[in-house]
Amino acid sequence: MSNLEQMRAELQELNLQLLDLMNQRAALSKAIGEVKRKQGTNKFDPEFERHMLNQIAEHNHGPFEDSTVQHLFKQIFKACLDLQQDSSKKLLLVSRKKKAEDTVVQIGDVKVGVAGHPLMIAGPCSVESLEQVREVAKALKEQGIGVLRGGAFKPRTSPYDFQGLGVEGLEILRQVGDEFGLKVISEIVNPSDIEMATKYVDVIQIGARNMQNFELLKAAGRVNTPVLLKRGLSATIEEFIYAAEYILSNGNTNVMLCERGIRTYEKATRNTLDISAVPILKQETHLPVFVDVTHSTGRRDLLLPTARAAVAIGADGVMVEVHPDPETALSDAKQQLSIPQFNEFMSELRATKLSQI
């Protein structure tokens, strides 16, 4: 055995001793967690942790520097704490590790999240009038689409922009939904409106600007109505997942996620569609994942290609905005499809064949 081989054998022996000690420490730490749970005290005790770190530095004689061993011990402390805590990430309610099978959300008789059966949700950016919503509903019905979207409370950058019809908008949606046999979805922005909204809508939408409006998330978690949660303008995927967890941890498990583009330096599109977020969210969570092709691109000419990409990558649904006369729309005029455009969009999307590579 060469010198190097012998040293390596010793190294492996040290590894196994380290492993054994780590697991002893883990077991002891778990037991301490049990004691604390019974006492009702906080599992994380920063004072004791600091005490241990100080002690470790005092006893450290290298060759590792103090900062290195402290870093390594912090990793060990953290792993032990994770063992103690039910609240660790691997146990998030939204996590695939917690629940392996796909969550199927029921919007009345419409099922969302069944593999191989993506759902289209369409409708105008803003509810402007009964007539407008009816025209769109008729087009959806003819396309065999079961869920109608429409904004009643519109979060707008400027206080002087059209702020939506409010409750009147919800009433219009409900009336048209009932008339055409469609389920309806609309954004709610005030925690105190959630309860009221459940009387009108089949799905509560929480918009990008409110993804970390935690009071709104908690309120949406306390009802049973399905929630479609949009990713924040510059939210990380991790933050997005935690935002969904706010809803589930308050009791409502009917949650759908929606990628809608993120803010980047690129200005060719309104936002940058982060298409990779779809498979990541499908891996990390058991929730259905939508792609809003309208807001992610902000360009009518990109709706069809991005919808194709969304379906191909495994999205459970696509959202798109349709308006009887987009040019005169009170919001987002440039990115909504007219009804003939929408019909063409649907037929081209449905006719798509994947090229062989």
CA distances from 317 to 258, 285, 307, 311 (A): 9, 16, 9, 8
Near a copy of itself by CB under 8 A, which window of 102-110, 171-179, 198-206, 261-269?
A: 261-269
Residue type, 119: L
Site string for a copy of itself, 215-234 (x = CB under 8 A): x-----------------xx
Does an H or E element contain 136, and which?
Answer: helix 130-142
Residue 68 tokens, joined: 């290195």
Q: Which is nearer to a copy of itself, 175 or 298 (CB)?
A: 298
Q: Which is nearer to a copy of itself, 43 or 179 (CB)?
A: 43
Q: Is the distance from CB of 204 to CB of 227 less than 8 angstroms?
A: yes
Nearer to a copy of itself, 65 or 178 (CB): 65
Tally the C-alpha atoms within 13 A of residue 53's C-alpha that lie toward its C-beta.
19
CB 345 within 8 Å of CB 320: yes
Given the complex with a copy of itself, which of 175 and 275 has the nearer CB atom? 275
Q: Is 321 exposed, middle or buried (CB count within 10 Å of its CB: 0-12, 13-18, 19+)?
A: buried
Establish if 124 lies at the interface with a copy of itself (CB under 8 A): no
Q: Which residue has the tokens 């807001």?
A: 295
Q: Which two tokens stand for residue 128?
A: 């402007």
Tell which one of 1, 11, 101, 109 touches a copy of itself (CB under 8 A). Answer: 11
Report the SS3 class of residue 6: helix
- When the beta carbons of 109 and 301 are compared against a copy of itself, the nearer one is 301
Of the pair 75, 224, the CB lying nearest a copy of itself is at 75
280-339: contacts with a copy of itself (CB under 8 A): 280, 283, 296-297, 301-302, 305-314, 317-318, 327-329, 333
- Residues 33-92 touching a copy of itself, rule: CB under 8 A, are 35-36, 39, 46-48, 50, 52, 55-56, 59-64, 68-69, 71-73, 75-76, 79, 82-83, 85, 87
- Shortest approach of a copy of itself to residue 111 CB, angstroms? 14
Q: Which residues pair with 105 in a beta bridge?
A: 112
Does 238 bind a copy of itself (CB under 8 A)? Our answer is: yes
**Residue in 105, 107, 206, 273 binding a copy of itself, rule: CB under 8 A:** 273
Compare residues 197 and 318 and give the one whose CB is closer to a copy of itself.
Answer: 318
106 binds a copy of itself (CB under 8 A): no
Residue 276 tokens, joined: 């990779």
3-class secondary-structure state, position 100: coil
Binding residue count for a copy of itself, defined by CB under 8 A: 131
Footprint of a copy of itself on residues 155-214 (CB under 8 A)?
155-160, 189-192, 209-210, 212-214
Nearer to a copy of itself, 37 or 178 (CB): 37
Is 110 a binder of a copy of itself (CB under 8 A)? no
Contact 256, 317 (CB under 8 A): yes
Task: Tell me how far apart the alpha carbons of residues 108 and 84 are, in angstroms, rounded to a whole number.
Answer: 40
Residue tagged 């905005």 (tokens): 321
- To the nearest whole angstrom, how small is the minimum distance from the Cβ of residue 159 to a copy of itself? 5
66-84 and 3-39 helices cross at what angle (nearest 10)? 50
